[in-house]
Structure 1
Amino acid sequence: MTLLTKALPGVCGILLIGLLLTLHLYGGLKDNYRRLSSQFAEQVAINKDYQERTQKLHELDTRHTQELANAKTEIDRLRVAADRNPERVYIRASCSKIGSDTATGMDDAATARPTDTAIRNYWLLRERIAESKQMIKGLQGYINTQCVK
């Protein structure tokens, strides 16, 4: 027997063991790949859902912010119109008395005019009502799109 024939079974055994270890490692790697691929697909789906929700919230916020800006613009337009044409605005007013109390006619009475505080409070309340309305609409929209499914 030559040296080659004596070493051949040992070399074949080592190669067989190496092949079995390689197959075993390949099977483990294949399982890890499948598991990681499914986890990656789940994360992609979660991220897509998150992006859609974020986009909806952004659209909702943009719409209500625009409506609030429009409401404030309308209030400012009404304020300017009221300043220019006070006879067309109906706000609770008081008449100041001029002269003596002996005259019974209306010709000496001053025109009815709301107090400055009443005017300021009126416009302030209009703005706050508009802001509150948009906040409530925004919260209702958030609840309807994000919380109720």
Structure 2
Amino acid sequence: MTSKAWLVIGIELILSLLVIHFLLGKVLDETKRADAAEQNLKLANATITDMQVRQRDVAALDTKYTGELQDAKATIDQLELDVATGKRRLQLNARCTTNGAASTTSMDDGIGPRLTDSAERDYFTLRERIETVTRQLTGLQEYVRTQCLK
């Protein structure tokens, strides 16, 4: 073989190596992209599974508390019906105070019925608790809006 032939073979060999190097780089890049896509797919599947579990948990809580709310409403409705039909009596502990004058058999000197001290305390305790629950609920709703729904 002549030196010219060896030169042509050498150039072809160098070109072949460059093409192989280029293609090998492309294969490695595609392999990295495929690995990244596979990792993203695994992450997406894990996220979907987690969301499904959370949805089931929320549905179970919703069913539980909806049932309890319906039971409580049914109890209150039944009590209201029992009072309306006379099966049960609704009592209010109240007192009628006088204007300070000695009372005869007349009812004119009464100021009017008032709640007893304990009923009045209970009323304000309930008002306070309602306000507390309202504030807590407002705070929780804000938490859901700003943190959970992001």
> TM-score w.r.t. structure 2 length?
0.52
Q: Deviations over 1:8-55 (max 9, x none)?
A: 543443232111211122122212322331232123212211221122
Distance, in Å, in 2 between the alignment partners of 1:93 and 1:84 is 21
Shift of 1:71: 1.1
Distance, in Å, in 2 between the alignment partners of 1:78 and 1:46 is 48
Distance, in Å, in 2 between the alignment partners of 1:89 and 1:60 is 36
Matches within 5 A, 1:80-119: 80-85=81-86, 88-92=88-92, 101=105
Range moving further from structure 2, 6-15 or 43-52 = 6-15
What amino acid does structure 2 have at the position aligned with 1:84? Answer: T
User: What is aligned with 1:49?
Assistant: 50
What amino acid does structure 1 have at the position aligned with 2:105? Answer: D
Distance, in Å, in 1 between the alignment partners of 2:49 and 2:91 is 53
What amino acid does structure 2 have at the position aligned with 1:101? Answer: T
Structure 1: any 5+ residue segments left out of the alignment?
95-99, 103-124, 140-149
Contact 2:83 2:89 in 1 (8 A): yes
Matches within 5 A, 1:104-143: none
Q: Deviations over 1:57-109 (max 9, x none)?
A: 122022201210221122111111111125x3251267xxxxx939xxxxxxx
Secondary structure in 1 matching 2:47: helix
User: What is aligned with 2:29?
Assistant: 28
Distance, in Å, in 1 between the alignment partners of 2:49 and 2:105 is 79
User: What is aligned with 1:76?
Assistant: 77
Structure 2: any 5+ residue segments left out of the alignment?
95-103, 107-125, 141-150
User: What is aligned with 2:143?
Assistant: none
Contact 2:83 2:90 in 1 (8 A): no
Q: How large is the Cα RMSD of the aligned pairs?
A: 4.0
Distance, in Å, in 1 between the alignment partners of 2:20 and 2:83 is 93
Secondary structure in 2 matching 1:68: helix
> TM-score w.r.t. structure 1 length?
0.52
Secondary structure in 2 matching 1:89: coil
What amino acid does structure 1 have at the position aligned with 2:78? Answer: R
